[in-house]
Amino acid sequence: MRSKKRSVTIQDVAKAAGVSVSTVSRVLNGKIDVASETQEHIQAVIERLDYTSSLAARSMRSHSTNLIGLIMPDIEYPYAIEIMKGVNRAIADSEYDLLVYTTGNVQKLAAASHEQRFVALLNNSITDGVIIVAPATPRFVSDSPIVSIDPHHEYPNYPSVHATNYQGAMDAMQYLMSLGHTRIGFISGRSELESAKRRLMGYEDALKEAGIPYDPDLVVPGDFTSKTAAVVSRQLLALPNRPTAIFAGNDQSAMGVYEVAQEMGLRIPEDLSVIGFDNIPDSRYMNLTTVDQFLSEMGSIATKTLIRIIHHETLDNLNVRVETKLVIRGSCAPR
Amino acid sequence: MRSKKRSVTIQDVAKAAGVSVSTVSRVLNGKIDVASETQEHIQAVIERLDYTSSLAARSMRSHSTNLIGLIMPDIEYPYAIEIMKGVNRAIADSEYDLLVYTTGNVQKLAAASHEQRFVALLNNSITDGVIIVAPATPRFVSDSPIVSIDPHHEYPNYPSVHATNYQGAMDAMQYLMSLGHTRIGFISGRSELESAKRRLMGYEDALKEAGIPYDPDLVVPGDFTSKTAAVVSRQLLALPNRPTAIFAGNDQSAMGVYEVAQEMGLRIPEDLSVIGFDNIPDSRYMNLTTVDQFLSEMGSIATKTLIRIIHHETLDNLNVRVETKLVIRGSCAPR
DNA sequence: TTGAAAGCGCTAACAG
DNA sequence: CTGTTAGCGCTTTCAA
């Protein structure tokens, strides 16, 4: 462990081996035009000196690092962790290593201008491409390819992986209706987000398709937090003709409904069917039914797509748009 | 999104603003000696061109990036994730950003030589310091400071954060003995690891202190996996005078014991008390008692220590050795 | 098969 | 206050 300043450089190796830096560089990069004798000698010196080439210097010249970046709003939520797992798995099967970047603070990253800064920070220097999770920014300036997961815009200028929010909501509704439910509450999400918009649309269209009239009282405004969900679901359950099922905007909202149901002594799902969206990360809520978003699969797909783009296997970078399946887990009660 | 080659550089900005690169650099680094007029002008150009300075180039010159690296064997285990959370929290309160590095593959990283490579990769170029989790290597060559968490050696050449394995094992045993248990089984861990060694030592010393003779039949060899633990605990429970309690080497081992107990129709803790070590990540095993290792706290402490070293607030880099508390969670039955 | 030299984008003296 | 210049450590022509 040394203080500052780079300890051993390619210069040192060259000097110690009695050759020029370019020869060392050739050995480093596995070029063939080096006498096998020199080759071995240099290799030995490299090991003796514990030399490792500087990523910064290397990337600066060659513009290729075999590193993929993953930019996360926050590393702590199950949502983020699941995605990371998927990315990680795809990385393991590739020649790339992974660099997860986070500021440890949602606030810092949330600002769109910051997202651009982070993309640039990584992609314009040390990564060959980045995956960005839930970006608020619809367009980025970047030297290397970008793939996004769950962007907050429908048509960003980068390839993206979306969950099939609309279809998932339709499926959830159809499931509830097949059980005989006709009064189904809905807790909406942050309306500026694409996912929230599409879930609401799925709710509405499913009703329409089934010929069930839309009752505005049954749709209450949430914001993807359990706290708000608790407040609005209380309102929902106080209705004279209360819903027999609630389709919560996301997992957190479902948890909010759960708490209120407990409080009111309603059994789930016997007295009230509840379907969440995304994963239900907390086992205390395991009896909740959920439209499960395959987060890790989204991570994998995004990674594979990115690698394909880096390899120039995909010509049309801008229009890749993958959708991942959603599946309903758990069961509600018939009514 | 452009193909290759860095799009907009400090040169471009200088040209567009009609000044020299050094002036731009001064603005970038918030130096005071720039006419506020020029200052604003350059700032405007920077924004207009969407310019971001290259991390690689910057770090190469200034040897400071405000980035801290976290090297993880594998990103998927709850163990790793808990540590990440702690690091993340400490990072959030600091001026640093976090770069988590992983190869997505334990095998790749496990080899000691690779660990050195990763440390060098980050620390000799783009990070101001790294935290390495559970390193197998006792010494690293690195330009910037290193702090390790749970190293596999007792006295590595870098500052480290350890869990108090010995004391934790003592506490667990004393707890069991206070409940009247005298025949206590122990499933050991991978004996090359410091943590495993110290836990076994705690088991032995606790017995000695209590004057309970050591029975070799009660100590069976595990390897920190639930599979092996299941095999050896079956053996333990088949003993003519079977133990009334089992102190499992780690969380995974405890889960193995749990499965076998279920299988044999033994109720936990009424018929068999079981204490694990580390966290029990899976809620299915929530009725297991565990010596809880404050993983996230270890992450935080390591991060804060590292930052202090980077800031030169700690003179003696090599001998920092922090131990974190372990606490017993859950309860066993008296015998 | 090898070396010399140019430069990647940036910062930090040193001059003006 | 601003420009010129010299590298940071590396890869890559181009010559030898």
CATH class name, domain A10-62: mainly alpha
pLDDT, tens only, A319-335: 667 777 788 888 899 98
Give the rounded percent of residues in chain A with a pLDDT score beyond 70: 92
Residue among B1, B6, B56 minimizing CB distance to A56: B56
Average pLDDT value over all residues in chain B: 87
Query: In a 3-state reduction of DSSP, which class is residue B98?
Result: strand
Find the mean pLDDT for residues A59-64: 88
Closest-CA residue of A relative to B119 is: A52
Find the mean pLDDT for residues A18-24: 93
Alpha-carbon span B273 to A81, nearest angstrom: 33
Q: Which CATH architecture has domain B165-294?
A: 3-Layer(aba) Sandwich (3.40)
Contact A52 B116 (CB under 8 A): yes
Q: Which residue, A125, A117, A130, is CA-closest to A63?
A: A125
- Residue A324: exposed, middle, or buried by beta-carbon count in 10 A (0-12, 13-18, 19+)? buried
State whether residue B126 sits within 8 Å of chain A by CB. yes
State whether residue B5 sits within 8 Å of chain A by CB. yes
Contact A126 B60 (CB under 8 A): no
What's the CA B96/C1' C6 distance, rounded, in angstroms? 35
User: What residue type is assigned to position B194 of the chain?
Assistant: E
pLDDT, tens only, A267-279: 989 999 999 998 7
Nucleic strand C under 7 Å from the C-beta of B141: no
Nucleic strand C under 7 Å from the C-beta of A55: no
pLDDT, tens only, A154-177: 788 889 998 889 999 999 999 999
Nucleic strand D under 7 Å from the C-beta of A167: no
Contact B105 A92 (CB under 8 A): yes
Q: Are strands B97-102 and A97-102 parallel, antiparallel or unpaired?
A: antiparallel
What's the CA A141/C1' D11 distance, rounded, in angstroms? 26
Across A33-37, A108-112, B20-24, B179-183, least confident range: A108-112
Find the mean pLDDT for residues B161-179: 93
Alpha-carbon span A329 to B8, nearest angstrom: 49
Contact A124 B52 (CB under 8 A): yes
| pLDDT value of position B45 | 92
Degrees to nearest 5, angle at CA B187 with B180 and B138 = 125
Residue nearest to nucleotide C11 (CA to C1'): B61
Q: Indicate whether B2 pLDDT > 60.
A: no
Task: Give the pLDDT band of residue A205 (cuts 50, 70, 90).
Answer: very high
Closest-CA residue of B relative to A4 is: B143
Q: Which CATH architecture has domain B67-163+295-322?
A: 3-Layer(aba) Sandwich (3.40)
> Could you tell me the two tokens for B204?
């032995």
Least Cα separation, residue B276 to chain A (angstroms): 20
pLDDT, tens only, B57-78: 999 998 889 999 999 877 777 7
pLDDT, tens only, A71-120: 987 777 777 888 998 999 999 888 898 999 887 665 544 555 677 888 88
> Which residues make up the CATH 3.40.50.2300 domain(s) of chain A?
67-163+295-322, 165-294
* Per-residue DSSP letter, A124: I
Least Cα separation, residue A12 to chain B (angstroms): 15
What's the CA A166/C1' C2 distance, rounded, in angstroms? 64
Q: Which residue has the higher pLDDT, B299 or B78?
A: B299
| pLDDT value of position B212 | 96
Task: Give the pLDDT band of residue B109 (cuts 50, 70, 90).
Answer: very low
State whether residue B124 sits within 8 Å of chain A by CB. yes
| pLDDT value of position A292 | 84
- DSSP codes, A141-204: --SS-EEEES-SSSS-SS-EEEE-HHHHHHHHHHHHHHTT---EEEEE--TTSHHHHHHHHHHH
> Which residues make up the CATH 1.10.260.40 domain(s) of chain B?
10-62
Strand C positions with any atom < 7 Å from protein CB?
1-5, 7-13
Q: Indicate whether A132 pLDDT > 50.
A: yes
Q: What distance separates the 2 farthest-apart alpha carbons in chain A?
A: 90
